[in-house]
């Protein structure tokens, strides 16, 4: 089983719609969680950190469920520019490396 | 931009050759990590350097090696290249080892092994 798993998609989303997807992690000792965004042929860029209480940044909402060991990302009012691959990232308590999921591809269409 | 630069941007090599990839970290960042991203997959951790010492290594064979210099720039060396080494190689820097600190990625080097 992979340490961090994501549905690869693609999620085809009409412009203006809401899309949500999850990421599961296997190590219960994981300490920090993030969502990164990666555009085609570009480097990953931090989208947002994920806090235990959940957090929101504009149209993006991230949630953490430690009991079920998953994090989620919700995008409201999707824009064409939201088309990208969204990478879930987990950092274990004992180490400092980023463990990435395989990414979820989102395609927002007019 | 993140201030992290990598060179070269693209590279073509043949099986068995050796390659050196370079990364200049953002000013003030003493920690550099290297990742390999195969097509359609998420980045995989290769290793990390903190103040010129290797500080963590992923599941990669010894033919993947690295260095960090006093100015905190870094190199990734791969010997005896294999076809499966074709990937995007990313480096990321951050100010220290704290887990919560954001890592800033460079644009990557695309390596093609023929």
Residue A94 has pLDDT above 60, yes or no: no
- B102 vs A56, residue with greater confidence: A56
CA nearest to B99 within chain A: A96
Between strands B109-113 and B10-13, the pairing is: parallel
Burial of B4 (0-12, 13-18, 19+ CB in 10 A): buried
Handedness of CA B22, B45, B93, A20 (dihedral sign): positive
* % of residues, chain B, pLDDT over 70: 97
Which residues on chain B are in Cβ contact (under 8 Å) with A32? 99-100
Query: Interior CA angle at B31 toward B29 and B32, to 5°?
Result: 105
Residues whose CB falls within 8 Å of the CB of residue B39, separated by 6 or more in sequence, listed in order: B87
Q: How confident is the model over A15-30, as pLDDT tens digits?
A: 999 999 999 999 888 8
CA distance A62 to chain B (A): 16
Q: What is the pLDDT of residue B26?
A: 86
CB contact under 8 A, B90 and A100: no
* % of residues, chain A, pLDDT over 90: 81
C-alpha dihedral, A20 to A46 to A12 to A17, nearest 10°: 60
Peptide bond into A70 cis (omega under 30): no
- Taking residues B96-113, report their average pLDDT: 86
Burial of A107 (0-12, 13-18, 19+ CB in 10 A): middle
Smallest Cβ distance to B99: which of A6, A96, A101? Answer: A96
Nearest to B4 by CA among B32, B36, B43: B32
CB contact under 8 A, B103 and A31: no
Nearest to B106 by CA among B27, B26, B43, B16: B26
Alpha-carbon distances, residue B79 vs A46, B11, B21, B62, B70 (angstroms): 31, 15, 12, 9, 24
Tokens 């190199």, residue located: B75
Residue B103 has pLDDT above 90, yes or no: no
Which residues on chain A are in Cβ contact (under 8 Å) with B106? 43
Q: Which residue numbers of A have CB closer than 8 Å to B's CBs? A: 4, 6, 8, 31-32, 42-46, 49, 87, 91, 93, 95-103
Range B46-72 burial, b when 16+ CB lie within 10 A, else e: bbbbbeeeebbbbebeeebbbebeeeb
Residue A84 has pLDDT above 90, yes or no: yes
Mean pLDDT estimate for chain B: 93
Q: What is the pLDDT of residue B106?
A: 96
Tokens 């463990």, residue located: A99
Residues whose CB falls within 8 Å of the CB of residue B34, separated by 6 or more in sequence, listed in order: B23, B45, B46, B47, B48, B66, B74, B76, B89, B90, B91, B92
Residue A98 has pLDDT above 90, yes or no: no
CA distance B11 to chain A (A): 15
Q: What is the pLDDT of residue B2?
A: 73
Q: How confident is the model over B18-65, as pLDDT tens digits?
A: 999 999 998 888 899 999 999 999 999 999 999 999 988 999 999 999
């Amino acid at each position: 089983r992979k340490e961090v798993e994501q549905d690869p998609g693609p999620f085809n989303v009409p412009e203006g719609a809401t899309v949500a997807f999850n990421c599961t992690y296997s190590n219960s000792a994981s300490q920090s969680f993030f969502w990164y965004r990666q555009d085609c042929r570009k480097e990953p860029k931090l989208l947002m950190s994920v806090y235990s209480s959940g957090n929101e940044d504009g149209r993006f909402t991230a949630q953490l469920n430690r009991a079920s060991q998953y994090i989620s990302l919700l995008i409201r009012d999707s824009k064409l520019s939201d088309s990208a691959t969204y990478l879930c990232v987990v950092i274990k308590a004992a180490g400092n490396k980023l463990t990435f999921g395989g990414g979820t591809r989102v395609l927002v269409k007019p | 931009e993140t201030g992290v630069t990598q060179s070269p941007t693209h590279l073509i090599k043949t099986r068995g050759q050796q390659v050196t990839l370079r990364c200049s970290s953002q000013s003030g960042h003493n920690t550099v990590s290297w990742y390999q991203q195969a097509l359609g997959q998420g980045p995989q951790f290769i290793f990390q350097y903190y103040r010129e010492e290797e500080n963590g290594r992923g599941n990669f064979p010894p033919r993947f090696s690295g260095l960090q210099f006093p100015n905190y720039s870094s190199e990734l060396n791969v010997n005896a290249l294999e076809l499966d080494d074709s990937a995007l190689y990313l480096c990321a820097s951050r100010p220290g080892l704290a887990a919560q600190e954001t890592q800033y990625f460079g644009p990557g080097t695309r390596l093609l092994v023929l």
